[in-house]
Copies of this chain bind each other. A is one copy, B any other.
Amino acid sequence: MENAVKSASASRKVSAFVATDDGEDRKQRWFTIGDLAREFDVTLRTLRFYEDKGLLDPRREGLNRLYSRRDRTRLKIVLLCKRVGFSLVEIKEMLDLYDTRDGQMTQLRVVLAKFTEQVAVLEQQKKDIEAGLVELQENIADISAQIRDREQKRA
């Protein structure tokens, strides 16, 4: 059984897309899969899955994966994008724009547009949930009343 790898604290830095490779721990140059799993609180399976989907591309040392600081940054971006509701395919599309030759201007603009649209998506989801909460409360009230009614008649 592959063990769970728990407890971490993802440093929620703003705008990971802007590659301000922020020197927060410049010491470490390479990371094992376990390192990243612990740091970002994801499973090994997840990291391998992301690789399979083209989101990460670690080098190999023998069979073992070795992640660079760039991989680590990409992972950070992936997780940020997931938190705000993008699919892995969408995330890949955004990440792959890094290779345009205009110094990421295209990437920045596209990402800005997508993030802006995503606000509307999340707001809709929020409305759906709020509507769900209302329905829940209505039904809770109704069912409570019914229960009281029937307990009454039994008496």
Contact = CB atoms under 8 A, between A and B. Distances in A.
Contact of A18 (B12, B126, B137, B146): B146
How many copies of this chain sit in the oligomeric assembly? 2
Interface residues of A, number: 41
A111 interface: yes
A137 B82 CA distance: 15
B83 A132 contact: yes
A122 B129 contact: yes
Contact of A14 (B119, B125, B126, B139): B139
B83 A15 contact: no
Interface stretch (A29-37, A44-52, A54-62, A102-110): A102-110
Contacts of A4: none
A8 interface: no
A138 interface: yes
Interface of A: 12, 14-15, 17-18, 80, 83-85, 103, 105, 108-109, 111-112, 115-116, 118-119, 122-123, 125-126, 128-133, 135-140, 142-144, 146-147, 150
